[in-house]
Amino acid sequence: MTFYWYPQCGTCKKAKKWLDENGVTYESVHIVEHPPSKEQLAQMIELSNEPIKKFFNTSGKKYRELGLKDKLLDATYDEKLEWLASDGMLLKRPIVTDGSHVTVGFKEEIFEETWK
């Protein structure tokens, strides 16, 4: 299992604590230093059954600086993937995947369903 996180992120810390307390074994990856590739993201988005927009950190400074709220409306799927893969700060976090399932963000009930 891979746990993509940003160590300074409060939500990521809560997710890490949950994983640790529930005995879930994972490899942690610093999402800013080593963001998932375009191909990895495409696979995770498909597995998650979530729209690509769910993978954007819409409350992030970088998202606002780039004006992505408006740009996403007309962007192609490929352009959106390019943005996500180009900067880990644009990704909603944490992202957890075991190759079959993917969760984005942290909601305890979803972690309970997916990772317990």
65 falls in which pLDDT band (50, 70, 90)?
very high
Mean pLDDT, range 79-107, rounded to an integer: 97
Mean pLDDT, range 9-25, rounded to an integer: 98
CB atoms within 10 A of CB 91: 25
Mean pLDDT, range 53-75, rounded to an integer: 95
Taking the C-alpha atoms of 64, 66, 70 and 74 in order, what is their torsion angle to the nearest 10 degrees?
-150
Per-residue confidence (pLDDT) for residue 93, from 0 to 100: 97
Per-residue confidence (pLDDT) for residue 85, from 0 to 100: 97
Structural domains in the chain, CATH included, are 2-115 (3.40.30.10)
Q: Assess contact for 90 and 56: CB atoms under 8 A.
A: yes
Per-residue confidence (pLDDT) for residue 11, from 0 to 100: 97
Per-residue confidence (pLDDT) for residue 38, from 0 to 100: 97
Per-residue confidence (pLDDT) for residue 26, from 0 to 100: 98
Q: Measured between alpha carbons, how far is 13 from 78 in angstroms, rounded to an integer?
A: 31
What stretches of 22-85 adopt beta strand conformation (E)?
A: 27-30
Mean pLDDT, range 96-102, rounded to an integer: 97
Mean pLDDT, range 36-59, rounded to an integer: 96
